[in-house]
Structure 1
Amino acid sequence: MLDPRGVRFTAAITSLVLVVVLVTGWGYLALAQAAVFAVTAASPSHGPYALLYRALVRRWLGPPAAAEPAAPVRFAQLVGLAFILVAAVGYLSGWAALGLGFTAAALAAAFLNAAFGLCLGCEVYLAARRVATGSSG
């Protein structure tokens, strides 16, 4: 189970990194963010931004009112990884439009999570589970 405030903090830092990638076109920064997505997908509570949250922010906030499951967050991180890897390929191969488009899409998703707590990847994960199990709610 994860602290939802930490998930939003992670999304905020990701948003900042993706803004820099979008503005500069730095393909290697996109690859660095891909590494962050990969580590966080493997273990959301041990990703670099989650560790930063726990070290710098959480102690001032106290325990969360509720926790959320890690599986949807893992899936969302994998989606982010796929998008930013395509973006990195675009930037590093000279296809700037590809890099811009995929970075912008990843940024939109990260920003929605950071600003509003709406995790698009998590929602896709939950919808896919409902379809797979045949339940409507």
Structure 2
Amino acid sequence: MSAEASVDPRGPRFAATVTTVVLAIVLISGWWPLLAVQTVVFALGAFGGLRMAPYSVLYRTLVAPRLRPTSEREDAAPLRFAQAVGFGFTLVGVVGYATDTLVMAQIATAFALLAAFLNAAFDFCLGCEVYPLLRRVTPRDKRA
């Protein structure tokens, strides 16, 4: 089992909280370079792994040592999928801001914000809920 097969579930909630703040600032201010940074954060988590994600690093080094240990674990695969979905929405947002297509940018950013807020405030990871549904409908073996 890899080191990333399961994670402390408090880490993704921390990351969702930071992400919520970042995306809210982007929507309020329209300062899209910050959205570009968030897009890179999502890309690192989705494609490089959660251990490489900057908010995960912050959680492990600054927050987790101050908390009581937990035996509760969460599968990393749905979390990485959620990061990939966040990457997609924020990338659309960056393209929208960069091309002066503000409605597209704001809608895409708002969707990412909604998903992050649901996780941060209610411990509901939208991407994590979609992940097993997609796994059920996606063929696992193309030889069949």
Question: Which residue number corresponds to residue 5 of structure 1?
Answer: 10
Instruction: Report the residue type matching 2:63 in the other structure.
Output: V
| Deviation by residue 1:87-123 (Cα, 9 ceiling, x = unmatched) | 0111111111111101110000000001111110111
The answer as to 2:117 corresponding to 1:105 is: no
Unaligned runs of 5+ in 1: none
Instruction: Report the residue type matching 1:80 in the other structure.
Output: G
Deviation at 1:65, TM superposition (A): 3.3
Q: 2:69 is paired with a residue of what secondary structure? A: coil
Structure 1 stretch displaced more, 109-118 or 56-65: 56-65
**Contact 1:40/1:77 (<8 A) preserved:** yes
Deviation at 1:130, TM superposition (A): 2.9
Deviation at 1:132, TM superposition (A): 3.9
Unaligned runs of 5+ in 2: 1-5, 140-144
Deviation at 1:27, TM superposition (A): 1.9
Q: Which runs of 4+ in 1 moved over 6 A?
A: none
* Aligned-pair Cα RMSD in Å: 1.5
Deviation at 1:11, TM superposition (A): 0.4
| Deviation by residue 1:48-87 (Cα, 9 ceiling, x = unmatched) | 0011111111111122231011100011000000000000
Question: Which residue number corresponds to residue 64 of structure 1?
Answer: 70
Instruction: Report the residue type matching 1:31 in the other structure.
Output: A
Q: 1:66 is paired with a residue of what secondary structure? A: coil
Question: Which residue number corresponds to residue 45 of structure 1?
Answer: 51
- Once residues 132 and 91 of structure 1 are traced to their aligned partners in structure 2, the CA distance between those partners, rounded to angstroms, is 33
